[in-house]
Each structure stands twice: as structure tokens, then as C-alpha cells.
Structure 1
Amino acid sequence: MATSSPANPNPDDPVGYFLQDLLYHGKSERTRDAYERVLRRFEGFLSDPDRNPSRRTIAPGEATQRDCMAWIHTLRGDNAESTIATYASYLHRFYAYMTQVGAFESNPMALVVEEMHESIDKDPTRREISVEAMREFVGEIGHPLERAVVCTLLKTGMRVGEVSNLDLRDVNLADEDVRSAYSLGARPRLDGRPDSIFVGTDAVRGQVVNGEERTASNKRKRDTIVPVDDELRRVLVRWLAIRPDSPSPAEPLFVSTSGDWGQRLTPKMIRNVVERHARDAGWHRTGGGAEENVTPHYFRHFFTTHLRDRTGDRGIVKYLRGDVASDIIDTYTHNWGDRVREVYEANIYSLL
């Protein structure tokens, strides 16, 4: 485990320094162990002159894009492509963080990840559901809360924990009635961005955010502003018209209308909603695997597949999913946000 302080921008043990940061951010021991195994393995590769392309012992801060790609190449043959993609993402996050805190000058994995062209959909073969079939599925959901939750998952590609963590301050809707009833869109990043949802990196399980301890973490690599189209706005407005008052100072967007009246919907509650409707549609079976059952994560797969096929723009889909770090987004134009909205609104499917 790390021994250096997070205040030290030049740690003697950069891997340990990063692992300590994961601890501070509430990552589980299992997650930290997984990162350590991968990063120490990479560190060993760099220290072996007979294996790395530099032909000398080098530290992680000295590694080049070529060194990183050479290590990725050593993984092939013994590991599945999805495993290699996971290891690459671990290394990418390590370098992105060390660059952000000023310990390293650059992130050699940024270009490597782009060059790999690994699929952003790492799911196993899944049930194929057309937009038309999904539209019929949503049409059978009558409760405003449940329809709003399902539509938010389907039209944004957000993770279940991210939907659970949404507060009223994270949602900016261009509707006078709800704006007069609620304080929406108070996030500074939403200023001047109507019909948008802010998905931050600040929500961490077990930490107090906006006055409430969170039960789930947002797993984003960077803060993301997701467009809200006319259809999703109408669904959210309909929900807000009946939303119960919440005792939470955070003012959650989605709250229970049953036994836990007014309390934030937890990821488990959201999964239960999706499972119940999926069972009714014949899309969920007890004991069924990921290739068969429709879950909130399937909705993320659905969003990824259909929007990527419609746009042909992997970068924008990866941004909306929260899979792209700042050093990649910064390679695009200064009007990135406008471009995302234009492409999204021109290609997002209708569900109602």
C-alpha cells in the first residue's frame, strides 16, 4: 500500500501513490487489488531491459507510448481481448491521474487506447432488441416515475448508480412550470445549457455529497453533460409534476412513491423496476445470464449499440457513456459540447 502523501507531487512510488488515491475515493479493496496487480505487472515489464523496447530499466514516469504498446502486446495470446481492454483502461487511468496531479509530464496511454480501437461494448453476446420492440416495452410502463427512470437509462446510457445519484441540481429543463416549482440545474456547468443533465465524478459511495451520504459511486472518467431531447424532457416533466417532497437536503431527482416515500431511489430499487417490467415482457428469467436478461446494464448496451450505429462517431458515444478522459476530449474542437448535442439530437431514437 502507498506510503507517500497525496500532497507530494513527485512520489517515489507512483503506483502506491495512485493506489492510495483510490482508497481515499472509496474504492473497494477488491478494486484496489486488481489495479495493483496490473500496475505492478507493468512496472516489472518496464524494469526488465530484456523485455521492454527501451532496453534499460525505466520508471513509469519515463515510459513512452511505444513502451505501453509493447506491454499491451505481451498480453495477447494469454488473455481475452476484453481482459486486455480492461488492463489498458487501468493503465490509462493511472497515467491520466499522475499527469493531472503533476507527477508525470504526459499520458502515453492516451494515444495507445485510441490506437487499440477496442470495442467500447465489452458485453458478451446479448439479446438483440430493436428500437421498435423497445418502444413497445416503454409504452407498457404507465407509472410516471418508472417510465422516467427507464427512459433516462435508455436515452442517456447512464449507469444505474449514476441515475440513482441524480439530484435536481443536476437537471436543467426548459419548462417554465417545473422551473417555477423546483430549483433545477443549479450546477455551474449547466448555466446556459437548457435541457441537459450533468453527470459528475464527485459522487462516491460512502461519502457525503450535496448533504447526503451516497450508496453508489459514479464511475465516470470525467464530468459529462448529456443532452435531454424533447421526448425525455416531457417524460421528466410528467414525473416532476407528481414527485413527492424528499427529506434529503440533496433533493434527489428520483424518489420512492411506495414504502420508502420520498427517499432516493437506490440502484437496487431501480434494478427491481427494470426486472419487473422485463419479466412482463418475457425478457428476464431467474437464472438467466447477461446474454438473456434485460437489466439496467443492458439499456447501456442498447444505447451504445444503436447510437454508435446511427452516428458512426465513436468519440461522441464514448463521451456520453463517460468512457473518455479529459486528455482525449481536449484533442477535439472548442465547441465539443455543441457538437455532441447536434449529433445526439439528430440521431437519438424515439421511445414513445
Structure 2
Amino acid sequence: MTRPGTAVDTYLDHLLVERGTAENTLTSYRRDLRRYLEHLDAAGVTDLADVTERHVGDFLVVLRTGRDGGSPLATASATRAVVAVRGLHRFALAEGLVAVDVAREVHPPSPPRRLPKALDVATVDRLLSVRGGDGDDVGGVRDRALHELLYSTGARITEAVGLDLDDVDVTARSVRLAGKGGKERIVPIGRPAIAALEAYRVRSRPALAARGRGTPAVFLNARGARLSRQSAWATLREAADRAGLDVAISPHTLRHSFATHLLDGGADLRVVQELLGHASVTTTQIYTQVTVDTLREVFAMAHPRARM
């Protein structure tokens, strides 16, 4: 017979002496496992061998709800506690204290998915309206074309800077993007983006290309080489500063805005999935929550009986 408390003490000693676990981690594990022991005691378990998977699963519920009278834990804290319990039972099996690891199939809670932040249409218009310098310098014309492309196609920044001249079809108003895993997709592009790209191709790119060695890349840096992801990020931050926007903006912000605005406009989820290059529609569904949240806010502000 192995008392749960004895197993916990032995496990913590093991972490300290043999694993060299940090003191702060040990303190947290000790607190988490003390709560676990109280949970087992309330269930009448006096032998570690009598613990079942249901006991461990119920403990996770207790952690999130505070049903035992303790404080409900946030996802990160509950995850740490489950990791501690899983470690205890894995250790008990390895030491021959029990015949089965009953915690093996009990997984820590998944962290909540952060909803992407999308700009409203007016803010995007404001961002895309700014000029670099006096609006005619080669870098400013290039940046405007890049930003228009990002919003018009929903391209990832890697896909945008990876574009070659042959990937842009002005006549068909489309671009060929090389997505994750080398998977290509053809995405339509709007007239403002086409106009910005043509202005860049005629007025700015030749001057930049003359400084380099003949790369086929669409977007070039000051040395005539392919524009890097980091430099592309910097152009967007600079544009946001010039536009006087006080929100954090990244290339992915424009991608999020692209998807959200399409759905707000009535686009089918499967179409948006294809445009974004998502392998699974499940990934695209996160944007539907953004639009629902927007609708909820509008409802709360506008409906006369929304807050009664």
C-alpha cells in the first residue's frame, strides 16, 4: 500500500535532488499536489493504487471551477497543476508504486485561442492613404504597393516578399502566392492594389533594380535585393506612425482585416479559407467569432432594448 501523501513527498524529493527542479517550480508543484491530496482524501482514496482516471479528470474540473472551495485557476495555472499530477503518476509507475499510469490520458486544458485583431475599414483606408516621404520617393511608392497588396490579397508577409514579377498577372488581376508547405494558390487582387503595383513597377522598381544584380523579386530593398520580412514589417510600422494610428499593426493585422471584412461583406467561409490558404476550415472559423463580436457590440450600442 502506498499512501498518496508519501508518494507526493517522494516525488518532490526526486524533483529536487535528481532533477534539480527550480525552487519556484517546486513551490508551485507542492501547492498543486497538496490540493490534489485534499481532492483524493475527499473522495475517500487512501491508497495511490486506488486512484482512477476519473479521479484525475475530476481534479481538473475542480481546478477550473473551485468546486472544492478553493480558488478557480486560470488556464495556465490549471495546466501547471495537471502537469504536476501527471508527473506524480508517471513517477509512481516508474518506481513500481502502481501498476498503471491513470493520469496518462488526462491532458492539460488548452489555452484559449486569441482572436485576431482586425482594423475597421476606415482605419485601413487611413493607413493605405499615407505616403512615404513626399509620396514620390522610390521607397514610398514601393511601400504603398506592398501595403495595398497585403490588404487586397490577405497574403502572409512571407508570401508577399516572396513574389516574383511573373507571379503578378495584371491582365487577370491576380497574384500567385506560395503558401505554407509550398502550396500555391491564385488570389484575385483589387484595382487600387493593381494601380499601386503598376505605379511601383514603372516609377520605382527600375531605380531600385539598378542598384542590384537582377533579382526577379517584385519588392526590392535599397540595395536592389529582395525585400526582407523584417524590412517589410518596418514599412508598415512607419506607415502606421505617419497615419497617427495608436494601435499595434503588423502585416498579419492586414491579413486579419482582409478576412474579417470579407465575412462582414457576406463572403462564404469556404471562399475565405481558399483565399487565405488555410488547410482546414477550422482555422478560418476563428474569424467568424470576430464578426459575431462586432455584431454584438453594434447591437448593444444601437438596439433600444439591448441593455434593458
TM-score by length of 1: 0.43
Normalized per residue, the structure richer in helix is 2
TM-score by length of 2: 0.49
Structure number with greater Rg is 2
